[in-house]
Each structure stands twice: as C-alpha cells, then as structure tokens.
Chains A and B, each alone.
Chain A
Amino acid sequence: MNVNRRVEQLVRDEWPRLVATLMGDLGDLSLAEDAAQDAAEVALRRWLDDGIPDRPGAWITTVARRRAVDRIRRERVGREKAAKLARLEARLEGDDAIGEDHHAAGAELLRDDQLGLLFGCCHPALSIEAQMALTLRSIGGLTTQEIAKAFLVPESTMAQRLVRAKRKIAAAAIPFRIPGDSELLGRVGVVHHVLYLIYNEGYAASHGDDLIRHELTTEAIRLSRLLASLLHDDAETHGQLALFLFTESRRQSRTDAGGDLVLLGDQDRSRWDASLIAEGRTALDRAIARNAPGPFQLEAAINALHADAADAEATDWRQISMLYRELRRYRPTPIVTLNQAVAVAMAHGPSAGLTMLERKNLAADLDGYALFHSTRADLLRRLGDAAPVGEAEAAYRRAIELTENEPQRRFLRKRLKEVSP
C-alpha cells in the first residue's frame, strides 16, 4: 500500500471514533461532523507532508477539538455556546497531558461513545432512510454523494434528508447513548439493518473502479463484533457477524489479478480466508445455540454451506434454495427471490431459475437493477440454443448499461462477446 492510500485509510479508520468522541464532547452531531471533516482534511495534508504521527487518533482528535472551538466561536451567540467551549477547552487541556495509561482507560468510554453514536443514528424517531444515511455518514464516513448512490436517489435529496434528520436530532433532543435494557433488544434490529447496508456498500460499491471498499466492510465487521460483545445473548447479532465474516472470507478471491470480478463458482477456494471462516462458524454456532432463528442466521447458514463445499458442483444447492425460501418468509424482497432463483438454477437447471426470474412482478421491480439483468443473461447463456435468439445478448447489454462498477462492466463485456459472435 502506498503512503497516500495508507494515510487515507488511517483517516477513514479514525473517522467513527472521531465523530463519536466529538459527539460525546458536544452533543451536536452537525458540529461534530463538521469538526471531524476539518480535522480529516488537515490530517490528509499534514500526514502526507510530515509523516504519520505516533498516535494518529490522539493527534486528529486534538485538531478536531481545536477546529470545533473555532467553529463555535464563529457561531452566533447561543445559550450553550459558553458551556460547549468550556467543555472542549477542558478536553484540550487533557489532550496535552494525556499518557498511554490514560489512553487505555479511555478505551471503554470510547466504546460506549461509539455504540451511543450508532444507537443515536439508528433512533426509531428518525425515518429509516434517515437512520441509514446518518449511520453511513457519521460512522461509515461516506460522503453524501456515495450515500445517495447507495440509496439510488439524487444527491440533493440525500443532502436534504441528512440536514432534516440532524435538525430533528437537535430539536427533539434525540439521545446518543446506549438505550436502557427494556428498549435495547428492540433497538438492535434497527442497527442490524443499517450495518447490513454498510457492509453491502463496502462489499460491492455501486460505482467507480474500486470494486471493494475494504474499509467499509472492515468497519461493519468491527461494529458487528462490538455489538456481539455487548449483546452476547442476541442470536441475530451473532448471526449477522457470521454472515459478514463468511462473505468477507471470499473477498480476496472475488477479483482476479486484473481486478475483474470472479463469480463464486469460479473462485479459487484455497484463497478463501480460513481464519475468517473459522470465526464465522464460531459466531454461527453461538447464534444457533440461542435457539432464536432469524434472517441473518439463515443467510449465514447459506454462506456456511458455500464454505463447506470444495467447489460449486459439490455445493448443496438444494439446501441453499430451501434456506432462501425460508429467508423469504422474513424478507419477501425481490433481491431474495433473485438469489433464490440463482440457487434453484444451480439445483434444478437454468430454465427452472429463469421461470422464477421471469415472474412479472419481479422483472418489473428489478428492471433498474444491474444484477437482475446480468443473472438473467447468465441463465439464458447457459440455456444456449434453447434460449430465444438474441435475448441473452439484450440482457447483457442492459446489465452493462446499468452497471457503474468498471470491473463488473469488463466482466459483462467479456460474456457479451461470448454470446454475440
């Protein structure tokens, strides 16, 4: 990794800690994010020129607190201005005196701050769209533009959504702390939903040349492990962690040397990360022992079956298609049906899969979705001469049109050539 990327990565890794700390200091999400953004920009510049400091986390936190002080001083006079300033200045004095011991003692506090940030962003008094957007922004560190892409809405719509959500957080005093025991489990489901989205965004970015945004998947896994350590008895938390770990174990083999996408069936399974798979199995066992089934456990079980098999042929596709059918009871979404169709095609042949895909509602729901067209194209290709003339080609062209991810596009173009001599 070159210095440029290392610095960027480091700044990104620090982001959620930074926002959580500032939110703890200030209780003002907009200000926390603005100051974090300022500090991130300074760090990017300075660390490239002067090198990375010994304790980058402490360094960037101090810069952010100073920037927050500047920002508060520029603000119009408000009731809380003096209190905020006093709090920040006390923390800044602490920053100067801070030693390694102190730093370690703060780790627990930092963990609570980060969970508080997570539960605050995922507060049920906010719309679900706002919860996701806030989490991706405040914890994932995504830009508004990237979040807009992930949700398939215009950037201006997403910017407005974030502004409105932050206004409500401030106006209604939505707390950024770990909920009490009686609410905790109910609130966790919302956090799961949002983490899932962050993971997906990291696993297959919807645009750009960077196929895998490692930092986001790492972040989702880090937060998932944190949740699992805090909510040790929650089956779905372990199930979700297992799902992330199994998926992550295949990250290295998902692209070839040229950066092109390699489908699950063609991947070199010896490159799957055995330690992540082992951790995933432990998490799944832990989940199943809680005897409270749920959708993340089902998805994790599907991925465990992939990890069990030596290759695509040896995979228990019948069981996978049944697990997907079970999953649809929890998540009756077109995407789950799409995945089920893939498994059905593997277990019972491409025409059985195509029959599922070509249900009217599904085709209409997924018409703007590249993966629907590329899956359909693939099944038509596998049907060969039995498929209607030109359909596979048309489907590949539609998929290419909808894909913004360059490696995926290259892969689809390769396949297109195979079906249109």
Chain B
Amino acid sequence: MKYACLIYSDENDPTIHPDPGSPEMAETMAAYQAFGTEAEGAGVIVGGEALVPTSAATSVQVRDGEVVTTDGPFAETKEQLGGFYLLDCETLDEAVSWAAKIPGSFYGTVEVRPVVEFD
C-alpha cells in the first residue's frame, strides 16, 4: 500500500527553514539525505519532492469557463506543505515508523495519508 507523507511546518520560521547556503541549511539537507538513504535502502521510497515556499504558489480555479488565478496558496495556514514522500509500506504502523524518521516530524507535522489505489 502506498502512503503519502505530507510534511507541514512554518516556512516563515528561520530556525526551521534557514537561508540557503547557511550551515544550518546544510544540516537540514544532511538530515534529509540520511533519511533518504535509509528509506531507499529499505526500498520503501516511491517518490518525493521538496516544494518552493508558498510565496511562489499560484492558485487556479475555473468558474463559468473562466480561468481565475490568484497569487498565493489555497489556504492561509500557520504551517504549510513543504514537501512530501510517497512510501510503499505494508501497514500504517510501518508508514508511521518511517514518518517518524522524516526530519520534518521533529519540527513540524507529517500527515500520513493512504493513496487511493484504483482497481
């Protein structure tokens, strides 16, 4: 079964999201790399990406045939979706144990969502 691990955190908190190139950022990257190596080694990672902050987001709606684009994310929230992994695990417990190793779970929240598998 596939699970999306959605990583939420406060993107405006500089202690969580340090400047690119800073030593703090290098630490964060190293932590994610270590997770990636371990999870890939175990063969559970199907996919995953990091997202550019919501300041780069554009929201799109089609209403009455008209495309309406808005600057910014779909919803203003305290914590934002900053990236995700797609994991292949046998049970929720297994997915949760991997989610608990994603660096984001230490400073933010990782939401584990099963992926719909169409027959």
Contacts and interface: CB of A to CB of B under 8 A. Distances in A.
Given A171-B114, A173-B1, A173-B114, A78 B92 contact: no
Interface in A45-95: 78-79
A79 B96 CA distance: 25
Main secondary structure of the interface of B (DSSP, over half): mixed
B119 interface: yes
A175 interface: yes
B91 interface: yes
A174 interface: yes
A174 B119 contact: no
A44 to B, nearest CB: 35
Contacts of B119: 78-79
Contacts of B96: 125
A85 B14 CA distance: 55
B93 A175 contact: yes
Interface residues of A, number: 11
Interface in A171-202: 171-175, 179, 183
B97 to A, nearest CB: 9
A174 B92 CA distance: 5
Interface string B93-117: 1001000000000000000101000
B114 A179 contact: no
Nearest to A180: B93
B40 interface: no
Contacts of B92: 123, 125, 172-175
Nearest to B117: A79
A266 B116 CA distance: 61
B90 interface: yes
Nearest to B93: A175
B72 to A, nearest CB: 31
Contact of B93 (A78, A171, A179): A179
A123 B89 CA distance: 17
Interface residues of B, number: 11
Contacts of A173: 1, 89-92, 114
Interface string A113-138: 00000000001010000000000000
Nearest to A80: B119
Q: Which of B89, B92, B119 counts the most chain A CB atoms within 10 A?
A: B92
Contacts of B3: 172
Nearest to B116: A171
Contact of B114 (A79, A172, A175): A172
Contacts of B1: 173
A179 B1 CA distance: 19
A123 B1 CA distance: 18
B74 to A, nearest CB: 23
Interface string B29-53: 0000000000000000000000000
Contacts of A172: 3, 92, 112, 114
A138 to B, nearest CB: 18
B86 to A, nearest CB: 15
Nearest to A79: B119
A376 to B, nearest CB: 45
Q: Which of A123, A173, A174, A175 counts the most chain B CB atoms within 10 A?
A: A173
A125 B113 CA distance: 11
Contacts of B112: 172
A78 B1 CA distance: 15
A179 B94 CA distance: 11
A106 B1 CA distance: 30
A175 B94 CA distance: 9
Contacts of B114: 171-173
Contacts of A79: 119
Contact of B91 (A78, A174, A183): A174
Interface string A136-178: 0000000000000000000000000000000000011111000
A83 to B, nearest CB: 13
A183 B3 CA distance: 21
Interface in A292-311: none
A172 B115 CA distance: 8
A179 B92 CA distance: 12
Contacts of A179: 93
A171 B92 CA distance: 10
A97 B3 CA distance: 41
Contacts of A125: 92, 96
13 contacts: A78-B119, A125-B92, A125-B96, A172-B114, A173-B1, A173-B90, A173-B91, A173-B92, A173-B114, A174-B91, A174-B92, A175-B91, A183-B93
Given A79-B119, A172-B3, 19 more contacts: A78-B119, A123-B92, A125-B92, A125-B96, A171-B114, A172-B112, A172-B114, A173-B1, A173-B89, A173-B91, A173-B92, A173-B114, A174-B92, A174-B93, A175-B90, A175-B91, A175-B92, A179-B93, A183-B93
Q: 5 tightest A-B contacts by CB?
A: A175-B91, A172-B92, A172-B114, A173-B1, A174-B92
